């Protein structure tokens, strides 16, 4: 490749969000016509780096040169003009419009009469494009009627329609089936052979090995290595992705675990996960790890009744339970803090007190009337126990820091002691100090006999906190490892689809 000049040359690129540095001094060269894989853990900075190149962040630091000429890319329109196209990780289609409308959104072919669109031309162009790409979609079809996988293909077509010189695909296969992934790989190689440079962001290693010419590994916002695919093995790639020491200390005060508290047998929900079996003991923290799209959050939501499972059994202390709604789960003593604090957890405009006591109101009231003093006392007890920093019980919960908001959510479920606590990403988006506090709380709860199911995308957290780790991949359990045998490499290998392993349990 050294006989070509790079089409894109990125030097010392950095981008911070507040105090969080997402990308830190990264260099990257993209060659004409190459397929460049960019891999890394969740949160390693892959998407941020590519969004810088696509003009989403005008406040990045560093230099970008296109064909050897320095450019500063300040908005997506400029990136598009320069020939850089991005296919989003999150779907950005307008569901009520047709496939053709979406492909040409914002640059519809104009008719001769000013102000009118040439819809026929758009449809014909869209049809040609789909045929070229081998996508079996009618341009007239409404996007709302398409499956998620089909929508993802429309996204790709939308990117290709821009006729870009550099096309960035951000996790393009997160909801594609095996066959569709193969199809997409074919499309990508076709584009590359026509001279288009492809950036392929993924954390699925098998796909990267299947399509990429070169691979760059990012970790914690920095570039670890770039090398041709032939120089990587699955092992060295995983090593590069996770190779960091577990420097942060995780508290561990708990002793021996008790009996099996929660057991799940062959649980499944169509389109989300299938045949999931595991058990959590009282006094134990079970880590649940999986990459995006592995079904881990869907599983948690099924256990809590938000989106009930279709098949399989959930047993609590050996007794089968039917969980069809959150109320069922609560009644059986299952508690859950959601992945998205704002969406499912907090009631932002209400005071800290109201947010904390919500779950316990039934116990805190007599004939429908809330016992004010009792409520204040119990809320104060939790505020003290979890060291929630708030000026008073009456300030709006939205004014608290992320860490304290998370503590409010955990505290809500402790007002009436649960038997099983499911924590979905309990430390996402909170700073290091607060993280340590939340970890200490989780450890303490397990010591007090709670069965804890900890879901996290952060490997160090999973490894540091868990007694056992269940790894999910493609909607089912891909392996289970004990604390002693767990390592980042091992878990990443299972999660990203290396040799599947399974301990009989």
Q: List residues near other proteins by CB under 8 A.
A: 304, 306, 325-327, 330-331, 336, 338, 343-350, 354, 358-365, 368-370, 372, 378, 381, 384-387, 389-391, 399, 401, 403-404, 412, 414-417, 431, 433-434, 437, 440-441, 444-445, 448
Q: Which is nearer to other proteins, 79 or 441 (CB)?
A: 441
Q: Which is nearer to other proteins, 222 or 344 (CB)?
A: 344
Q: How far is CA 235 from CA 20, 171, 205, 298, 399, in A?
A: 29, 21, 10, 29, 45
Instruction: Answer whether 187's CB lies under 8 Å from 180's CB.
Output: no
Q: Which is nearer to other proteins, 9 or 341 (CB)?
A: 341
Q: Which is nearer to other proteins, 198 or 323 (CB)?
A: 323
Q: How far is the CB of 273 from other proteins (least distance, A)?
A: 20
d(CA 156, CA 162): 10
Q: How far is the CB of 71 from other proteins (least distance, A)?
A: 36
Instruction: Answer whether 248's CB lies under 8 Å from 458's CB.
Output: no
Q: How far is the CB of 400 from other proteins (least distance, A)?
A: 9
Q: How far is the CB of 422 from other proteins (least distance, A)?
A: 11
Q: How far is the CB of 342 from other proteins (least distance, A)?
A: 8
Query: CB under 8 Å to 49, separation ≥6 — which residues?
Result: 10, 13, 15, 23, 26, 28, 38, 218
Q: How far is the CB of 420 from other proteins (least distance, A)?
A: 14
Which 3 state secondary structure label does DSSP give 57?
A: coil
**Among 159, 219, 188, which Cα is nearest to 38's?**
219
Tokens of 9: 């040359």
Q: How far is CA 49 from the centre of its chain?
A: 17
Q: Which is nearer to other proteins, 38 or 386 (CB)?
A: 386
Which 3 state secondary structure label does DSSP give 311?
A: strand
Q: How far is the CB of 337 from other proteins (least distance, A)?
A: 9
Q: Which is nearer to other proteins, 102 or 357 (CB)?
A: 357
Tokens of 372: 């004010």
Q: Which is nearer to other proteins, 155 or 339 (CB)?
A: 339
Q: How far is the CB of 412 from other proteins (least distance, A)?
A: 8
Q: Which is nearer to other proteins, 80 or 359 (CB)?
A: 359
Q: How far is the CB of 255 from other proteins (least distance, A)?
A: 15
Q: How far is CA 494 from CA 208, 269, 479, 487, 505, in A?
A: 16, 22, 7, 11, 17
d(CA 267, CA 475): 11
β-pairing, 420-424 vs 334-337, is parallel
Buried b (16+ CB within 10 A) or exposed e, 163-189: ebbbbbbbbbbbbbeeebbebbbebbe
Q: Which is nearer to other proteins, 222 or 444 (CB)?
A: 444
Residue 206, by phi and psi: left (phi above 0), alpha (psi -120 to 50) or beta? Answer: alpha
Instruction: Answer whether 456's CB lies under 8 Å from 429's CB.
Output: no
Q: Which is nearer to other proteins, 15 or 439 (CB)?
A: 439
Q: How far is the CB of 441 from other proteins (least distance, A)?
A: 7
Give the alpha-carbon dihedral of 227, 231, 232, 236, to 10 degrees.
Answer: -100
């Amino acid at each position: 490749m050294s006989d070509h000049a790079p089409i894109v040359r990125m030097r010392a690129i950095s981008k911070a969000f507040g105090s969080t540095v997402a990308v830190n001094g990264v260099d990257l060269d993209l060659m004409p016509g190459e397929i460049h894989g960019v891999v890394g853990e969740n949160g390693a900075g892959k998407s941020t780096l590519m969004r810088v190149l696509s003009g989403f962040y005008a406040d990045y630091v560093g230099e970008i040169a296109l064909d050897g000429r320095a450019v500063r890319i300040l908005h997506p329109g400029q990136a598009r003009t320069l020939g850089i196209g991005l296919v989003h990780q999150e779907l950005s289609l307008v569901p009520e419009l047709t496939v053709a409308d979406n492909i040409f959104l914002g640059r519809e072919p104009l008719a001769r009469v000013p102000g009118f669109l040439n819809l026929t031309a758009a449809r014909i162009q869209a049809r040609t494009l789909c045929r070229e790409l081998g996508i079996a979609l009618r341009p007239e079809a409404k996007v709302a009627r398409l499956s998620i996988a089909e929508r993802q293909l429309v996204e790709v077509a939308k990117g290709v329609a821009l006729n870009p010189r550099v096309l960035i695909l951000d996790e393009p296969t997160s909801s594609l089936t095996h066959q569709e992934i193969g199809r997409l790989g074919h499309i990508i190689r076709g584009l590359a052979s026509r001279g288009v440079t492809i950036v392929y962001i993924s954390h699925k290693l098998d796909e990267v090995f299947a399509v990429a010419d070169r691979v760059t590994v990012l970790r914690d916002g920095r570039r670890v290595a770039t090398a041709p695919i032939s120089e990587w093995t699955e092992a060295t790639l995983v090593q590069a992705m996770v190779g960091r020491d577990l420097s942060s200390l995780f508290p561990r005060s708990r002793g021996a675990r008790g009996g099996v508290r929660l057991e799940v047998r062959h649980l499944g929900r169509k389109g989300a996960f299938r045949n999931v079996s595991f058990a959590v003991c009282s006094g134990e923290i079970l880590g649940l790890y999986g990459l995006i799209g592995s079904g881990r959050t869907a599983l948690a939501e099924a256990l809590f009744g938000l989106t009930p499972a279709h098949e399989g059994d959930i047993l609590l202390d050996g007794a089968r339970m039917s969980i069809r709604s959150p109320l069922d789960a609560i009644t059986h003593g299952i508690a859950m803090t959601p992945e998205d604090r704002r969406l499912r957890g907090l009631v932002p405009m209400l005071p800290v007190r109201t947010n904390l006591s919500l779950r316990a109101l039934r116990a805190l009231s007599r004939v429908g009337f809330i016992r004010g003093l009792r409520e204040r006392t119990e809320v104060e007890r939790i505020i003290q126990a979890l060291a929630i920093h708030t000026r008073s019980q009456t300030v709006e919960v939205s004014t608290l820091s992320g860490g304290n908001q998370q503590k409010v959510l955990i505290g809500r479920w402790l007002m009436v002691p649960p038997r099983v606590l499911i924590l979905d990403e309990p430390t996402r988006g909170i700073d290091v100090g607060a993280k340590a506090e939340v970890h200490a709380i989780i450890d303490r709860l397990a010591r007090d006999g709670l069965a804890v199911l900890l879901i996290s995308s952060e490997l160090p957290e999973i490894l540091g906190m868990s007694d056992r780790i269940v790894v999910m991949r493609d909607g089912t359990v891909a392996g289970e490892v004990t604390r002693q045998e767990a390592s980042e490499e091992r878990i990443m290998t299972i999660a990203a689809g290396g040799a599947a392993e399974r301990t009989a349990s």
